[in-house]
Structure 1
Amino acid sequence: MKPFVLLATRAEDVPADEEYALFLRYTGLDERDLMRVRLEADPMPRFDLDRISGIFVGGGPFNASDADETKSAVQHRVEAEFEALLDEVVARDFPFLGACYGIGTLGAHQGALIDRTYPEPISVVPVTLTEDGASDPLLEDLPREFDAFVGHKEAITVLPSSATLLASSPNCPVQMFKVRRNVYATQFHPELDVDGITTRIHAYAGYGYFAADELELTLAAVRRASVSHPSRMLRTFVERYAR
């Protein structure tokens, strides 16, 4: 099988390694078939899309809506690399699934309005599929409404005409969309389970996602409901696109 690729941007080793382990677990792939590239450490390699099956993008610390003058040199590099990659991905309608930071990369590439209007604290939220989402083959194993883990400072406020809205939540109108037939992005985290998000809560306690005295409240918020459905789309993505 041609491998899949996970593009990651987490600088902290513990959550970065756990993110990779979660993608391995819920895709059903082994390390030979899921190549990880840590973009915060090294430039993105030039991918020959004919030699891989698909691309995943994990979450990370970068925000597309950050002012240019506040972005680090690494963030500017990573954004330029994604812009070039997505030129080819979208033109070829190549299998792509971006989670959290991935929705910012694809949204920015397509000209979406991304700002701080619809942030969501680290928590579990109900996600509802649109009519297009309910009929999409990537989501066929999911119920019309399901719980998912979220935690983001920015979100898409206005989708471009090139995008099809697939899912929303009460406080974030764009939880998932696609471009063409095979290029997907989610605001929620399909790869996470409660242990994984607990690791991230501790790792990013000082990153502005919650106040210093809200650690226990945040931990309780992600335990209030069982989250099991979103990860199914990772296995479905692999089953659809492995070649």
Structure 2
Amino acid sequence: MKLLVLLHEDTDRPGVFHEFLEEDGHSYDPVHLHRDTPLPNLDGYDALWVMGGPQNTWETKEYPWLTAEKALIREAVETRGLPFLGICLGHQLLAEALGGEVGPATTPEIGIFDVQLTEAGATGVFFDGVSERFPVLHWHSAEVTKLPAGAQVLATAPDCPVQAMRWGTRAFSTQFHMEADPDTLSRWLGQPDGYAALQAALGEDGPARYEEAALARMSALNETAERLYINWLQCAAQAVPA
């Protein structure tokens, strides 16, 4: 497969998924929207991934490319039926692109918290082989407040009801960062703005505690990520020619 991967910050990359894709012989073209890289035509791509970032979906004046990005997501998912995977900001952008709504989170989630599969999540392909309740890594202060028509919630939590979502048969997204690996953490904490944001949210020692908690669970987090990656490929195979 050849994937198009949309990026919004140098610190937010495919992470552990890069390793999975490389091992399976798949390739991807990264597009750095925060560097004002033009969006390419979707011709020739087998799937679209949209990663996380510090922007908010409604900040179109500050980041004008968000409008074009949402249009591309809508074209990919609605018009072309391309397999899609969205993470954190990518999850929120999928919701807005398809007619849903995103707003400030009532309770921002920063750290490792459990999510619970819904009935649709527990019986579907995307979370096959994953426990009905499992820990994930969070860092977000916005959330999906209204689902797009036809979307299903696959995982939920008390402070953020839409933790994972499916639209149609090939578009999936998660509010949590299943792509995170040690390098991802290093990049996040090495960015002054990100480090300061963790301190503001969690206290002076917040960055150290965040990193410690994530690294302590990293093996389990990456195992879940690999399972979801395999499951996503199974869903994507329905759309990609052999």
With the shorter chain as reference, the TM-score category is 0.7 to 0.9
The residue aligned with 2:53 is: 60
Contact 1:191 1:234 in 2 (8 A): no
2:4 is aligned with 1:9: no
Of the three residues 132, 156, 171, the one matched with 1:168 is: 156
Matches within 5 A, 1:110-189: 110-189=98-177
Contact 1:119 1:155 in 2 (8 A): no
Q: Distance in 1 between matches of 2:230 and 2:171?
A: 16
Q: Distance in 2 between matches of 1:31 and 1:62?
A: 31
Of the three residues 41, 44, 59, the one matched with 1:46 is: 41
Q: Distance in 1 between matches of 2:145 and 2:157?
A: 13
Q: Greater RCO between the two (CA within 8 Å, min separation 6)?
A: 1
Q: Which runs of 5+ in 1 are unaligned?
A: none
Of the three residues 26, 34, 37, the one matched with 2:28 is: 34
Question: Greater shift after overlay, 111-120 or 131-140?
Answer: 111-120
Give the alignment's Cα RMSD to 1 decimal.
Answer: 2.6
CA 1:5–1:31: 2 relative to 1, 3 Å: farther
2:208 is aligned with 1:219: yes
Contact 1:138 1:236 in 2 (8 A): yes
Question: Greater shift after overlay, 225-234 or 36-45?
Answer: 225-234
Q: Which runs of 5+ in 2 are unaligned?
A: none
- In structure 1, what residue type is equivalent to 2:45? I
Q: Distance in 2 between matches of 1:120 and 1:30?
A: 35
> How many pairs are equivalent?
230
Offset at residue 38 of structure 1 (A): 1.2
Q: Distance in 2 between matches of 1:4 and 1:132?
A: 27
> Following TM superposition, where does structure 1 have runs of at least 4 consecutive aligned residues deviating by more than 6 angstroms?
none
Contact 2:14 2:179 in 1 (8 A): no
CA 1:168–1:201: 2 relative to 1, 3 Å: farther
> What's the TM-score, normalizing by structure 2?
0.83
- In structure 1, what residue type is equivalent to 2:206? L
Secondary structure of 2:106's aligned partner: coil
Q: Distance in 2 between matches of 1:5 and 1:164?
A: 24
